[in-house]
Amino acid sequence: MDFIKKININKKWLIRIAAIGLPLLVIILLAYGSQRLECREIKVKFTNSEQSNFLDAEKIKAVIYKIYPKIQYTKMKDIKADVLEQAINKMSSVEHADVYKNIEGTITVSVKQREAAVRIFDKNNKSYYIDKNGFLFPISINFTPPAIVASGNIEKFKKRVTNVLEDSVKVPVLNQILQLSLYIAKDKFWNAQIEQIYVNEKKEFELVPRVGGHIILLGNLENIDLKFKRLKYFYQSVLNEQGWNKYNYINLKYENQIVCTKST
């Protein structure tokens, strides 16, 4: 009787198989098999490594091994991709990460790293980066991005701050430094010319250029488009003719005029 029951069950499955078709059956079997399969490989891909190189594959894998120490002996069905994503996305240098599993037993991690918009040196010489979205993240001994530097009278903030755009009231100077850095970066000429932002005792912004023996007093960020237009015109019509080292101080603070101090 038991043998007959088994045959009947098999007949029922044969009818079902015939109904769904062979290709779909293969997909179902592969999917079922993949869930029983143990993890065979972890692949890490960085989507913007040419612009940012704070992390390597081993650092990403180290986070995975903390969650699954014996992941090579863990079945794919027991590995939670969303848990891995959450852990990797908490890494300070990661802007966004996605984790995928496939039917061959491979876990693929796609990582976009933060891109530094400016490097900060505060009054206590503490250094860190701010990315284009306003997030703060630490420096790395493995990689130094070509970001503009900001230093001077930048106070160390007392309350925890993770984003200078969201916490602009707590850190107004950092907020303005980021906005100024992004403004400079989007213009090809100024991005090549300006290498440092300095915050003076009056909380005004001074700019240190790569070419020319002068300091540019920008003041605040009001009328920033007009100030840079006047400066570019001054470069083209005056410094190109009289020499880039003729002045040691170029003041853009005042409306509709440029005040210069000659080099001695």
49 within domain boundaries: yes
Angle formed at CA 148 by CA 235 and CA 250, multiple of 5 degrees: 30
The dihedrals phi and psi of 215, each to the nearest 5 degrees, come to -110, 140
CA 10 to chain centre: 56
The dihedrals phi and psi of 44, each to the nearest 5 degrees, come to -120, 125
124 within domain boundaries: yes
Q: Which of 71, 95, 113 is the last residue of a domain?
A: 113
Q: Which residue in the block uniquely carries the two structure tokens 């040196």?
A: 121
For the whole model, what pTM was predicted? 0.82
Say yes or no: 91 and 125 in one domain. no
Strand-pairing partners, residue 151, are 198
Say whether pLDDT at 39 is over 70. yes
Say yes or no: 167 and 136 in one domain. yes
Say yes or no: 126 and 106 in one domain. no
C-beta separation of 100 from 110 below 8 A = yes
Q: What is the tens place of the pLDDT at every residue in 209-252?
A: 999 889 999 999 999 999 999 999 999 999 888 888 889 999 99
The dihedrals phi and psi of 161, each to the nearest 5 degrees, come to -130, 130
23 within domain boundaries: no
Q: Which of 96, 113, 130 is the last residue of a domain?
A: 113
C-beta separation of 215 from 180 below 8 A = no
Say yes or no: 94 and 167 in one domain. no
Say yes or no: 127 and 250 in one domain. yes
Say whether pLDDT at 63 is over 70. yes
Say yes or no: 128 and 97 in one domain. no
Number of domains into which the chain is organized: 2
5 within domain boundaries: no
The dihedrals phi and psi of 46, each to the nearest 5 degrees, come to -105, 125
Mean pLDDT, the chain, rounded, equals 87
Q: pLDDT over 70 for what percent of the chain?
A: 86
pLDDT: is 63 or 124 the higher one?
Answer: 63
Say whether pLDDT at 202 is over 90. yes
18-53 b/e with 16+ CB inside 10 Å = b? eeeeeeeeeeeeeeeebeebebeebebebeeeeebb
Say yes or no: 168 and 256 in one domain. yes
Residue among 167, 93, 92, 155 nearest 125 (CA)? 155
Say yes or no: 208 and 100 in one domain. no
Q: How far is 100 from 62, CA to CA, in rounded Å?
A: 17
pLDDT for position 115? 95
pLDDT for position 3? 38
Say yes or no: 140 and 245 in one domain. yes
197 within domain boundaries: yes
Say yes or no: 72 and 181 in one domain. no
32 within domain boundaries: no
Which CATH number does the domain housing residue 127 bear?
3.40.50.11690
Contacts of 44 (CB under 8 A, 6+ apart): 57, 60, 61, 108, 109, 111
Q: How far is 264 from 250, CA to CA, in rounded Å?
A: 14
Say yes or no: 82 and 204 in one domain. no
Which CATH number does the domain housing residue 87 bear?
3.10.20.310
Say whether pLDDT at 8 is over 50. no
Residue among 205, 206, 230 nearest 216 (CA)? 206
Helix (H) / strand (E) containing 12: helix 2-20
C-beta separation of 212 from 249 below 8 A = no
Q: Which of 56, 90, 113 is the last residue of a domain?
A: 113
Say whether pLDDT at 27 is over 50. no
pLDDT for position 20? 58
pLDDT for position 128? 96
Residue type, 100: Y
The parent domain of residue 163 ranges over: 116-262
Say yes or no: 107 and 160 in one domain. no
Q: Which residue in the block uniquely carries the two structure tokens 């993240």?
A: 137
26 within domain boundaries: no
